[in-house]
Structure 1
Amino acid sequence: MVHAHAHEFAFAVVIRVLLAFSPLESFLQDDNQLSSSLTSYSRLLEGVYLFRQHGIDPYTGGTFRHSPLLLSLFSTVIPATRIPPKLLWTFFDAVSAWALVNIWRSRSNTRKHERDLRIAAIYLINPYIFLPCLALSTSTIETTLQLLVLLFASWGQSSPSLLALALLVHLSLPAILLLLPVLLLLLSDPLSHLASPRPFPQRLGKCILLFVEFAIFFVALLFASTLAAGGWSWMRNTWGAGILLPDLTPNPGLWWYFFTEIFDHFRPFFLAVFSLHLSVYVVPLCIKFQHDPLYAGFLLLGILGTFKPYPTLSDPGLFLSLISLFPETYRYLRYPMVTTLLHLHALLLLPLFHHLWIGTGTGNANFFYASTLVFGLANGGALLDCTWAGLRVAIGEEKDGWVVTQE
């Protein structure tokens, strides 16, 4: 059975390689739903060209917003041709599926499980995941790092987990919201405790040491990035983009259209409100799910996928794939059919209205934004349903136990 699963996984990866070398990549690479201005491979190639071929600082313009770490990597180690990136992106996706399976094994406390192949398949065939991968969006790299952070934390390996998180934050600043649940996970275990809530043990000293270790990794990468970029200007173009929102290129998120229509003198206020809105969920979720920090991290990934400034389809795609890790919550989901139909509806509307507006010019921005609102509603519905189910498990288990006792 194990060998059969390995062969099926290898077959799925081979199919992904074949898709990567199909003509689909040329159609998908510049799709705003799959690549944002912060994750576009075309913009990365432009920055590499300016930096390596002409010695021009790509951050002096207003289009290059990738981390200097990626700029250095693709300027030196990885050739800026088509074939190596296609193989690399497929490798990242395979690593992500492997990490997801191993997180499940850690949570279920098993070495092999019959659900392993199903979990890998759910991830690999998820259109929200493999389409950005085919488009060579760097959001695929961020997804891999997010799963590696959770995997190493589930294994109790603090240094690899915190190093991966520091690297992830350098690529995508909103990922800093994952720091608290990762610290809690390193101080506890990944096993399911949703059915038996308990107070988190007081381990403040260990938590401070872990935070200091993360800070050391983060500062080291900060200086490495500054050295690679030749100055500090990269910070405004990369991290600052997620706060100041200078690029209003359409994407599947909820920010771009609102700030296109808002008056300029209201812009600083609403930028502060939208940015703070992301952070207000961290502490309440970590307090409420302190007994199961992996579930708290899962919900925060859903919040990032729904409300971050420059999302792509891979952000909510990761959240939806992670649902497979928590089968104990399935019976307590209230509206799974409604959420599924909303996602199917959005999956049809997003490319259709995007093509009507950008492709044929017969629509306008309202068409596409209407589809992103449906998409946001679907993501929000899934997030609320999973939050309810995670809380309801304990009550349901107590009730089931009471019924058995009475009988």
Structure 2
Amino acid sequence: MTSSLRAGVVIPTVAALKVAISLSGLPDLLRNDHQLSSPLTSFSQLQEGLYLFKHGIDPYSGGTFRHSPLLLALFSSVLPTSTLFAAVFWALSDAVAAWALVEIWRARQNVSSSTRDGLVALGYLANPYTILPSLALSTSTLENTLLLLAVMFAAQKKAAPSLLSLAFLSHLAPPAILIFPPLALLLLTDPHSHLASPQKLSLNKRRIFPLVLEFLIYAGALTFASTLVAGSWNWIPQTWGTWLTLPDLTPNPGLWWYFFTEMFDHFRPFFLMVFSMHLVIYVAPLCIKFQHDPLFALFILTGVLGIFKAYPTLSDPGLFLSMTAAFPEIFPYLRHPIVTSLLHLHAALLLPLFHHLWLTQGTGNANFFYASTLVFACANGAAVMDSLWAGMRIAIGKNTEDYGIVQE
């Protein structure tokens, strides 16, 4: 492997290239694209909230600002919001995310470095689903970085920074709290691949309680800090409550917005409960099935959240697709990789086309764009199912090889 594909060269090179592209004016064209940023991740809305906050006006009183008070505190006191700094900061965030993914790969392979490090980094940095939201300055890029950092620290057995990263991420995107069970299992086991030798996990449940307590302490401290920044508890229904009540039906690549646009008001609470609980039901089965390999369970759960969360952007499924680079053992066992790739190619063409026809040209309607999001959901679902199938087939394939059995 040439030195040009080493992570230490690839990551800063691509980061510098992203800064150059960001300063070209392209982000101004992407910033308000509904596929790349949602009302909860839009940089434009963050700037509006910062303007109100700096002028002594409660940004949460208007019912349109959805960002965490933690972002208000960071960008109003520590981090400036100039065009140059934003370009550099988001590029650095991508670089840190790619580095974290490389470290996850190394921990899983139990090596200090490998010839695949650069390819793993490119799996994140060269993914169009992560590049475009980053250029649009969507805060979903920061969320991806926090998630990868939490997983990286867990794989390295560093409980405090891992749980703190997850607590911070949960404040920005509450559905991320569902990652806690497999993350806790990862902290108590090892990150190495055990898909070929599934065994029941012998775990002392008393070891989990300190992790739960530590996470709650971090989450409580961040909640208290957020309340001090906001000056009241009004930020909670405007941020966390948005994920449960879905007050903003701005189009996005997800499955919620169109369904609730057409929903009768008296059915709305029931289906909000159904859609919210639908995310929760995947956690226990995945943790139980892959208790011998919690890192793989976390990987699959990331893909599920990318499909079914209330306000997704392209970066959510993009993170899952990028993480596949850290699990090369599943590649030979993927069932329909060509079909899944073609579905993603099809969706990648339909999404911007139908979005443009509906919202720019005015020659279509909401059904156009929602049809493309359904194709996108099918592509993401196919990727998750393929990976899940491969993870379960590895053990069978290994056993047949050991006994000299030829698979048809």
Judge same fold: TM > 0.5, yes or no.
yes
Cα shift at 1:375 = 0.2
Provide the C-alpha distance between the structure 2 equivalents of 1:249 and 1:351, rounded to a whole number of angstroms: 16
Aligned residue for 1:59, secondary structure, equals coil
Summarize the Cα distance change of 1:55–1:2 in structure 2 as closer, same or farther, 3 Å threshold: farther
Of residues 15, 22, 29, the one that matches 2:24 is 22
> Residues of 2 paired with 1:32 and 1:18: CA distance?
24
Higher mean alpha-carbon deviation, 19-28 vs 344-353, is at 19-28
Give the superposition deviation at 1:202: 2.1
Whole-Å Cα distance in 2 between the matches of residues 115 and 181 of structure 1?
26
Deviates more, 1:71-80 or 1:166-175: 71-80
Residue equivalent to 1:47: 49
Sequence identity (%): 59
Aligned residue number for residue 109 of structure 1: 110
CA shift, 1:335, in A, is 0.4
How far has the Cα of 1:7 moved from its partner? 2.8
- Of residues 11, 14, 22, the one that matches 1:12 is 14
Partner residue of 2:306? 305
Q: 1:112 to 1:205 in 2, by over 3 A?
A: same
The residue that corresponds to 2:167 in the other structure is 166
In the alignment, which residue of structure 1 is the partner of 2:384?
383
> Hey, what's the Cα distance between the residues in 1 that align with 2:274 and 2:11?
44
Q: How many angstroms apart in 1 are the aligned matches of 2:310 and 2:279?
A: 10
Q: Which residue of 1 aligns with 2:137?
A: 136
The TM-score with structure 2 as length reference comes to 0.97
The residue type paired with residue 326 of structure 1 is F
Aligned counterparts of 1:296 and 1:20: Cα–Cα separation in 2: 35
| Equivalent residue number for residue 211 of structure 1 | 212
Equivalent position of 1:125 in the other structure: 126
Tell me the matched-pair count. Answer: 404
- Please give the alpha-carbon distance, in whole angstroms, between the structure 1 residues aligned to 2:390 and 2:245: 35
Aligned position for 1:92: 93
DSSP 3-state at the match of 2:212: helix
Residue 16 of structure 1 aligns with an amino acid whose one-letter code is K
Question: In structure 2, what residue type is equivalent to 1:315?
Answer: D
Partner of 2:373: 372
Q: Compute the displacement of 1:9 (Å).
A: 3.2
Matches within 5 A, 1:31-70: 31-52=33-54, 54-70=55-71
Shift of 1:10: 2.5
Contact 2:49 2:65 in 1 (8 A): yes
Stretches (4+) displaced over 3 A: 1-4
The aligned amino acid for 2:64 is T
Which residue matches 2:402? Answer: 401
- Counterpart secondary structure, 1:403: coil
Tell me, in whole angstroms, the C-alpha distance in 2 between the residues paired with 1:248 and 1:181.
31
Question: Equivalent residue for 1:291?
Answer: 292
Instruction: Decide whether the 8 Å contact of 2:16 with 2:91 is kept in 1.
Output: no
- Letter paired with 2:218: F
- Are residues 1:149 and 2:137 paired? no
Q: Using the TM superposition, give the Cα deviation of residue 313 of structure 1 relative to its aligned residue in structure 2, in angstroms.
A: 0.2
The 3-state SS of whatever aligns with 1:231 is coil
1:315-367 deviation per Cα after TM superposition (whole angstroms, max 9, x unaligned): 00000001111111111110000000000000000000000111111111000
The CA distance in 2 between the partners of 1:298 and 1:357, in whole Å, is 34
Cα displacement (A) at 1:154: 0.2
Amino acid at match of 1:22: S
Amino acid at match of 1:49: Y
Q: Tell me by how many angstroms 1:2 deviates.
A: 8.1
8 Å Cα contact 2:340-2:383 kept in structure 1: yes
User: Structure 2: which 5+ residue stretches go unaligned?
Assistant: none
**Whole-Å Cα distance in 2 between the matches of residues 178 and 9 of structure 1?**
26
Counterpart secondary structure, 1:238: helix
CA distance in 2, matches of 1:7, 1:46: 37
In structure 2, what is the Cα distance between the partners aligned to 1:305 and 1:48?
Answer: 28
Q: Which amino acid is 2:284 matched to?
A: V
Per the TM alignment, residue 183 of structure 1 is displaced from its structure 2 partner at its CA by: 0.3
Is the partner of 2:346 in helix, strand or coil? helix
Q: Deviations over 1:183-213 (max 9, x none)?
A: 0000001000000011112221111111101
* 1:281 paired residue number: 282
For 2:398 and 2:360, the matched residues in 1 are separated by 52
